[in-house]
Amino acid sequence: MEIIHVSAECYPVAKAGGLGDVVGALPKYQTKAGHYAKVVMPMYKTKFLVENEWDVDFKGNTNMGNWFFDYTVIKERNNKLGFDLYLIDINGLLDREKIYGYDDDTERFTAFQIALVNWMSHWEHTPDVVHCHDHHSALIPFMIKNCYAYKTKLQNIPTVLTIHNAQYQGWMSWDKSIYIPEWDAWKWGELDWGNTINPLASAVKCAWKVTTVSHSYMNELKYNSNGLEKLFEYEQGKCSGILNGIDNEVWNPQTDTLIKHHYKTTSVKTGKKKNKKILCEQFNLNENVPLIVFIGRLVGEKAADILPNALLTILHSMKDEVSFLILGSGDPHVEWQLAEINGKFPNHYHFENGFKEALSHQMYAGADFILMPSRVEPCGLNQMYALRYGTIPMVRSTGGLQDTVTDMGEWEGFGIRFNNASVEDIHYSVSRAVSVYKDETHMKWMRQHIMKINHSWEDTVQQYINLYQSLK
């Protein structure tokens, strides 16, 4: 099959979160399975762009409302990622250093999608499926179905939408409907949700199939999807959950070039101890107590707003029993609160602002536990990375976290789960972590057990292929 993935992110080209990891891995494993997967994304000014070789694949021109623009499609020359990678360049609009965060993001991603559909309309063939990821590509199912210039050629191409996070929907006011190439006005209801243009809602209506990144999250969307609850209830017949995988070639403690000491299941205790020592020396932490890490965006979805108070409460009551290393960025106030704790609990706490890929790998390798108190976690990849490195996840029971982590109180349980994103639940979970850390036999079993859990992409890829084939 020929599969076209359309996304705003793709690791290692440009990544802001889990979306980038998924789009960087899924096409690679689909290609390994014998299919022809391509990724199309905007051309940002990134290190990857500068350091690799490119060929011009197509030059075109089209319009977004009254603005007519030229665009260029470039292709990475050496198949470095294991699949064909195409970038769309629109001068002055997409060629910026950041992925998101500009006042004209609506125009940027709408123009990107228009350019993509325009480019596809010039192909001599049609692909087997167009797979759109999140709201940045969610107008494509509507456009190839309803835009007069494209629907004759493209409307029979099956489209799939994968929702990585339904909290972000790409809302546009109706005065921006002129951005979309001339379309059948009778179909306005396929764009509208709550008297505004809602790209994510539009794709849920127009795509042939809708998936999200875990079974539990698919169910949660019916009662917690930022205003789309009734839509997911209505469209549930074409919706399904497919749990994300992880790239076992990238996330492998035996070969990971970003960690200091390699190890495998049989040497997990000594390997993790050596990696932990590196972290503790770097950040002045006590290596003789359990090291708990948090890696991620400091936003409300991740319950980062309660993190400072929870950490202070725990450090005051258990200051000699545990250490914390926090890596992340996001809400400036939360960043400030976490930074304020630096220095107050020497040997037991450090906050590192920002995101550093190499440090995150070292933290997975050296930590004893990873804390994920998320209010919303569609799938979660961090807990899967942690399992691969023998780091025990401490997670709130939501979305993909409850699909991938079994509480240690259950039969063959290997993690710590809690019900509420609250200071009290986090505090209690940390006390459980400290208790199990002192039980060397139990810790050894848990570490060795979780490193054998397989969350690789192979099984996930086949589920997507089965879904695509059902659309023929």
Tell me, yes or no, whether 178 and 230 share the same domain.
yes
One-letter amino acid identity for 92?
G
Looking at residue 75, its pLDDT comes to: 98
How far the first Cα of the chain sits from its last, in Å, is 11
Handedness of CA 364, 370, 374, 380 (dihedral sign): positive
Q: Is residue 417 part of a domain?
A: yes
Looking at residue 355, its pLDDT comes to: 86
CA angle 367, 164, 187 (to 5 degrees): 170
- Domain interval for residue 229: 2-245+457-469
CA angle 235, 237, 241 (to 5 degrees): 95
One-letter amino acid identity for 110?
T
Split at pLDDT 50, 70, 90, the class of 2 is very high
Take residue 143 and report the two structure tokens written for it.
């456009």
Q: Is residue 332 part of a domain?
A: yes
Average pLDDT value over all residues in the chain = 96
With a pLDDT cut of 70, the percent of the chain lying above it is: 100
Tell me, yes or no, whether 139 and 201 share the same domain.
yes
pLDDT digit string (tens) for 61-114? 999 999 999 999 999 999 999 999 999 999 999 999 999 999 999 999 999 999
Split at pLDDT 50, 70, 90, the class of 249 is confident
pLDDT digit string (tens) for 300-313? 999 999 999 999 99
* 380 secondary structure, DSSP code: -
Tell me, yes or no, whether 356 and 439 share the same domain.
yes
Instruction: Give me the DSSP letters along 59-99.
Output: EEEEEETTEEEEEEEEEETT-TTSSEEEEEE-TTTT-SS-S
Tell me, yes or no, whether 237 and 295 share the same domain.
no
Split at pLDDT 50, 70, 90, the class of 236 is very high
Rounded mean pLDDT of 409-420?
96
Tell me, yes or no, whether 112 and 212 share the same domain.
yes
Q: Is residue 298 part of a domain?
A: yes
d(Cα 172, Cα 64) in Å, to the nearest integer?
14
Q: Range with the lowest mean pLDDT among 106-110, 361-365, 408-412?
A: 408-412
Tell me, yes or no, whether 233 and 269 share the same domain.
no
Rounded mean pLDDT of 122-145?
97
CATH number at residue 202: 3.40.50.2000
Tell me, yes or no, whether 438 and 462 share the same domain.
no
pLDDT digit string (tens) for 19-48? 999 999 999 999 999 999 999 999 999 999
Q: Do the Cβ atoms of 210 and 203 come closer than 8 Å?
A: yes
Q: Is residue 152 part of a domain?
A: yes
Residues 6+ apart with CB under 8 A from 19: 7, 8, 9, 133, 134, 164, 165
Q: Is residue 47 part of a domain?
A: yes
Looking at residue 472, its pLDDT comes to: 83
Q: Is residue 37 part of a domain?
A: yes
Tell me, yes or no, whether 270 and 241 share the same domain.
no
d(Cα 418, Cα 137) in Å, to the nearest integer?
35
SS3 (DSSP) at 340: helix
Tell me, yes or no, whether 197 and 273 share the same domain.
no
Split at pLDDT 50, 70, 90, the class of 379 is very high
Tell me, yes or no, whether 215 and 307 share the same domain.
no
Q: Is residue 74 part of a domain?
A: yes
The count of domains in the chain is: 2
Q: Is the pLDDT of residue 18 over 90?
A: no
Tell me, yes or no, whether 209 and 282 share the same domain.
no
